[in-house]
């Protein structure tokens, strides 16, 4: 198993990343591939803009994993990585 494959296993967004990420980003002490990290940032941005949980027509574009990560942190302070 390559170093990239080992690293990618830290991100739990899917069972197997294709293509493999070459870097990971940290959100709320969870390591994420750049795609999932970007989706978390975008979903959180939408939530904050609306001031409430986005409707299903928006949520359907984000994975359950992304929604879960944001829901667990939406009321917490910004950690600097999200701006």
Q: Is the peptide bond before 19 cis (omega within 30 degrees of 0)?
A: yes
Q: Which is nearer to Zn ion, 33 or 40 (CB)?
A: 33
Distances, alpha carbon 14 to alpha carbons 8, 36, 63, 65, in Å: 10, 10, 10, 9
Q: Which is nearer to Zn ion, 30 or 33 (CB)?
A: 33
Residue 13 as a binder of Zn ion (CB under 5 A): the answer is yes
Residue 40 as a binder of Zn ion (CB under 5 A): the answer is no
Instruction: Candidates 25, 27, 30, 33: give the one binding Zn ion (CB under 5 A).
Output: 33
| CA 68/CA 83 separation, integer angstroms | 19
Which residue ranges make up the site for Zn ion (CB under 5 A)? 11, 13, 33, 36
């Amino acid at each position: 198993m390559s170093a990239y494959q080992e690293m990618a296993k830290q991100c739990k967004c899917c069972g197997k990343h294709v293509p493999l990420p070459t870097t990971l980003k940290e959100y709320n002490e969870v390591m994420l591939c750049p795609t999932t990290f970007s989706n978390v940032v975008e979903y959180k941005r939408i939530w904050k803009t609306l001031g409430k949980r986005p409707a299903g027509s928006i949520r359907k574009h984000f994975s359950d994993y992304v929604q879960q990560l944001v829901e667990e942190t939406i009321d917490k302070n910004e950690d600097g990585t999200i701006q």
